[in-house]
Structure 1
């Protein structure tokens, strides 16, 4: 599960608070041929294909996109604390803080946060990515009709504050994994209620001319391509800019991209035929395949496989030896992959990891982990040191 608790507001003054990032490095993923003539021509010349610009989606602009975020607060604060006694570690924290991350919107009134970040983004010349995570029942507790209507009013406030500005919205992580009416998730609720809530939210946000919206696509092979295709179709994937992957996981980029392509093809085939499953005998129109973004904030070393045997290994919970991955960029070399983004926070704890044992200590690390969503300095340092490619 994505560890995202309270948003942290960082006081900032003017342009000095702004931070922009542009990844000039060449993409490491293998290039694929694009369906457009221009992209195919570029591929024939031996250059990575460029996606055609799409009106309304800032991630599909021609050429690299500059991302904006304020410095990550936990890493920035840690750099100051370590500056005198641990200068090398402090420098790593500064580099970690400088990578643009998704700006969390889960406050009761998120409009001031949106207004401030958009103003800073304009001055910095960058595009902000907002993680919108205020959905009632997202934790599998029952949501009343009043709660659901209040959420739509909240979304309307966020959308109005964004207005015509270029922005990316990662909408409600785990909302299509933790689905009401399914096992262990609000038995009194229904999947249709969740689909309706997400469809309304998407339509409100997409009423803005330059807002891109992505829905929850989970992670490679879990809970399954067919299941996630069904849920994304139910939630109205055709009205969005696509789906996002890997926010709750550490799967490496190549595996995640392969899963995203399979999920996209399955959605396109089902929508074209009305059939269930993932029809393998259907010629899919590339233009009908949803695009996606990949969270690379923690996947530099891929997923973790414990050497020891645990009753419940909890491979998602503070896995040791992991590192941050590729920096945010739209230069992915993949037609369907709009961007690599840092959505999860590399330095926050995934919660208390007992791995099926008694007691509060993580048997793998030998310490008691901070609660979910809390900053953990040593975890952040571990992931910064293990960065692939290295932080610089």
Structure 2
């Protein structure tokens, strides 16, 4: 975000040095200013999910003030998926390449969502998608080309297998999605062809993990989901994703993930048929966890019967969306609405597990935020004529728009709780000149614990580089700048403020709103 300075004199050469000295004053009376290392800092752990310093969440924060902005910045400090939903092949390739490049510079794994399949969401709130199979295959090929040989995880088409146009399931049930523009005789077959092409394009990449839509425990039964996954090419992927944009509890979704992994193994490696697989609906009862052991026992019997050894570490794995499931699903008031739309901006939901690739569950590769928390599900009318959401008494933002009320709820009701910031950062660009600028940063400890040594991370989003710095040891990797304490200013007591500054080379002093002090988000001024 561009920081508006109190004035913007144009200075250069010796005048720039004089300005730096005037601005730093007593700071320069300490040890000599820290020069920027000539080589970038080492990359982060390859198992670390990428935090996007230019995410849609942080972009939304730029237009907010007060607590709403603080909430958005805090949510933006966690990794969440980047959705790619449209564009020409050339446009999506360039956008994916830019995003993956930034993640690769940090040695982190980006989570990307490919969401452009024809008839996506069956022309509901998130309607759109490519015009036809040819357009989609060209788009997904370009998407894959944008990733190249770098590390990435890709969620392929949320709802792509949960909602299939003109589909008849393996149980004989007819899909409700019947768009008039789609050919009833070919639409379902085309959907599976499109997804298989996406699987082939993405699994050909050496560093990419690929996951297909497995819905969740409140939707398809295990056998039906298994059958659809197999038809879409899941055997060639890393597995499936669950609970995308939904609210099912992690406990239930994890149990469902294990059964789905088991059913896939039985159905692809033995004579077992997917429709025989136990599920959340039978022999278990979906709303009574005390019965779920019955389905566990059914799988024990199935493995014994087929002679296959269960090995969940080697079977297909899952990503679970925990972006809004901390309080579980919403139970609408009985009889209040003709269509409660319990999936659409339900009130008083909370964040679930914060994103991680270390789950301790052999089936679950990661708890991730596929849905960007704080972004609206759409205009929720709940069976009324609108335009207001009758449950909230306000008009919701359109799908994907920032919803400050919901963002505040997700933080307030998060389970586990999310730690609030204990630091505040203010930045000012004091002056610019052709090809450079000078900036100053103030860091305040607003917590109750003294910091012994500190590290502040921020990102220069305008392509600039740090050329020199004072009162901090500064390095830069890609767009991300690390400013670390020196021996004389390493202690930062509660209520105290310190300052450092830097000279930038480039035409812009623009920065992301996100500031991470020792890895945790700060409020920004």
TM-score band by shorter chain is 0.7 to 0.9
* Structure 1 residue 328 displacement after superposition: 1.1
Matched residue SS, 1:282? helix
Match of 1:167 in 2: 152
> What CA deviation, in whole Å up to 9, does each residue of 1:99-150 have, x standing for no partner?
1111111231211211211221122121101101111122336999972112
| 1:286-305 aligned within 5 A | 286-287=310-311, 289-305=315-331
Aligned partner of 2:94 in structure 1 is 112
C-alpha distance in 1 between matches for 2:395 and 2:339: 17
Is the CA contact 1:247–1:295 (under 8 Å) kept in the aligned structure 2?
A: yes
List runs of 5+ in structure 1 lacking aligned partners.
1-9, 12-20, 23-62
The verdict on how the C-alpha distance between 1:104 and 1:146 changes in structure 2, with shifts beyond 3 A counting, is closer
What is the aligned counterpart of 1:125 among 107, 123, 128? Answer: 107
Instruction: Give distance in 2, aligned partners of 1:262 and 1:116.
Output: 37
Cα offset, 1:80, TM superposition = 4.4
> Cα deviation per residue 1:348-375 (whole Å; 9 max; x = unaligned)?
1112222223432222111121222211
**Relative to structure 1, is the Cα distance of residues 158 and 358 closer, same or farther in structure 2, using a 3 angstrom cutoff?**
closer
SS at match of 2:211: strand
| Higher helix residue share | 1
- Which structure 2 residues correspond to residues 264-283 of structure 1 after superposition, within 5 A? 264-271=261-268, 272-279=270-277, 280=298, 281-283=301-303
Partner of 1:54: none
Q: CA RMSD in A?
A: 2.7
Counterpart for residue 190 of structure 2: 193
Q: Is 1:136 matched with 2:118?
A: yes
CA contact (8 A) 2:144 2:205 kept: yes
Q: 2 CA distance for matches of 1:145 and 1:293?
A: 25
Alignment of 1:294-333 (within 5 A): 294-309=320-335, 310-333=337-360
Residue 155 of structure 1 is aligned with which of 140, 147, 152? 140
Alignment correspondent of 1:285: 309
Which among 384, 394, 397 is matched to residue 370 of structure 1?
397
**Paired position in structure 2 for 1:44:** none
Of 253, 256, 261, the residue aligned with 2:253 is: 256
Call closer, same or farther: CA 1:256–1:208 in 2, change over 3 Å.
same
Which residue, 41, 52, 62 being the options, matches 1:70? 52
Superposed CA offset, 1:23-79 (max 9, x none) = xxxxxxxxxxxxxxxxxxxxxxxxxxxxxxxxxxxxxxxx98211132364542454
Distance 1:193 1:69, change over 3 A: same
Cα shift at 1:390: 2.3
Q: Under a length normalisation based on structure 2, what TM-score does the superposition of the two structures give?
A: 0.59
Say if 1:325 and 1:273 are closer, same or farther in 2 by CA, change over 3 A.
Answer: same
Residues 233 and 244 (structure 1), Cα distance of their counterparts in 2 relative to 1, 3 Å cut: same
Q: What does the per-residue CA deviation read over 1:151-181, in whole Å, with 9 as the maximum and x for residues that have no partner? A: 1121111212211101100000101011122
Q: After TM superposition, give the deviation of residue 184 of structure 1 in Å.
A: 3.2
Are residue 209 (structure 1) and residue 190 (structure 2) matched?
no
Conserved 8 A contact 1:300-1:322:
yes
The structure 2 residue matched to 1:92, chosen from 43, 48, 71, is 71
CA contact (8 A) 2:116 2:129 kept: no
1:355 equivalent in structure 2: 382
Unaligned 5+ residue runs, structure 2? 3-42, 168-174, 179-183, 278-297, 420-525
* 1-structure distance, mates of 2:138, 2:131: 11
Cα distance in structure 2, aligned partners of 1:278 and 1:105: 37
Q: Give 1 or 2: higher strand fraction.
A: 2
Deviations 1:233-282 (A, max 9, x none): 11111100000000131111111101111122122222222424134442
